[in-house]
Chain A
Amino acid sequence: MKQIVAVVALATLAILLWQLAPIAMPSGLGVVAQHYAEHGVQDNRGANLVTSVVVNYRGFDTLGEVTVLFLSVSGAAFVLRRRTGLEVHEPRRASEIVRTGARLLFAPIVLFGTYIFVHGHLTPGGGFQGGAVVASGVLLLLLANKDHPLPHGFLSWTESLSGLGFVAAGLAGLWAGGSFLANRGILPLGTWNQLFSAGVIPVIYTFVGLKVGSELATLLDVMMHAADEEVHQ
């Protein structure tokens, strides 16, 4: 009964949403987007306009976004702080080839991730994408060997300091450029399409990449070991 009501309701909802399709039709750039498209490169000297929007124009959103990730990882660890009631499930040990292969691949994956977030202002990608790639390397390690030792101290420090770095960069903007996260007066904006350009944007994106990478790695670790007796702090 409830199921039928649910399906009927959702069908109606679909109709309601479909009526919005005309609004969704392409209609050109809005005022704000027009400014970004026209002046974005001059404003920030970053080739990738999306990155300019993410890190500078709407950088405050991104700080919030980093916070969301940080918070949900902390939250997951908090929810999983109790260890009772779960059976420790020991998976079949992966073969030597898989484990060695994972270790071998780990470094290139991290390097690739780093490349992505360092070049966030030039090419598609950025801190989040790069960080996710880095974390996927860790995932590979953990899948190959559940008990692969992770440098918890290093991850924790990276997580904290990169977060702090983001805030510090924002405060530098406040101090030098007159507003929080401003991209003026801290680092030279440089020349368009160079690695060292776009002022503080690549710096921030590097912090984001480090933070996202270490956080997602921690998250994987926490989830993998939700049933373990010992308590990771």
Chain B
Amino acid sequence: MMAGNELYVGTAIGLIVIGFVAVLTRRNLLKIVLGFSIADTGVNLLIVSLGWLPGRTAPIVDDPSMFSDRAALAVNAARVVDPVPQALVLTAIVIGVGVTALMLAYVIRLYAVGGTLDVRQFGRLKW
């Protein structure tokens, strides 16, 4: 068993940076949107891994004995991982979906008015 969650955190940071590389260096608008999605995924992974505790299970009380009394519940509390990051990540995912949807709508219209997906063609407003 791993002592920590370096693997998850490392992967998450890797995903974030990979996403950002796409966002900052790819010309294609769709790839930029994809880059954001990848970075979002990295963030989500990181959030989940923040709640991870070695050897613990999902925060669902599915054993009747766990519900017998307070003491049992306290024992249960020592069995589960942190439920909060899981709740947060749910929200984060949905928000990510929303932003992606809107970005894609923008890309569709940008393509319609510009006839291209090259991000550099959409910088006429400047200075």
Contacts and interface: CB of A to CB of B under 8 A. Distances in A.
A touches B (Cβ under 8 A): yes
B94 A69 contact: yes
A21 B10 contact: yes
B46 interface: yes
A38 B69 CA distance: 11
Interface size classification for chain A: 35 or more
Given A41-B73, A48-B59, A192-B61, A69 B98 contact: yes
B95 interface: yes
Interface stretch (A2-10, A96-104, A140-148, A180-188): A2-10
Interface in A2-60: 3, 6-7, 10-11, 13-14, 17-18, 20-21, 24-26, 28-30, 32-34, 36-42, 47-50, 52-54, 58
B99 interface: yes
Q: Is the interface of A mostly helix, strand, loop or mixed?
A: helix
Given A10-B21, A79-B102, A18 B10 contact: yes
Interface string B58-95: 11111010110010011011001011101100110111
A10 B46 contact: no
30 contacts: A3-B24, A3-B25, A13-B20, A18-B10, A21-B6, A21-B10, A25-B5, A26-B4, A30-B84, A33-B83, A37-B77, A41-B76, A49-B59, A50-B86, A50-B87, A52-B83, A53-B84, A54-B90, A65-B94, A68-B94, A68-B95, A69-B94, A75-B101, A80-B105, A82-B109, A86-B111, A86-B112, A126-B90, A128-B93, A222-B105
Contacts of A65: 90-91, 94-95
B101 A36 contact: no
Interface of A: 3, 6-7, 10-11, 13-14, 17-18, 20-21, 24-26, 28-30, 32-34, 36-42, 47-50, 52-54, 58, 61-62, 64-65, 68-69, 71-73, 75-77, 79-80, 82, 84-86, 123-124, 126, 128, 192-193, 219, 222-223, 226
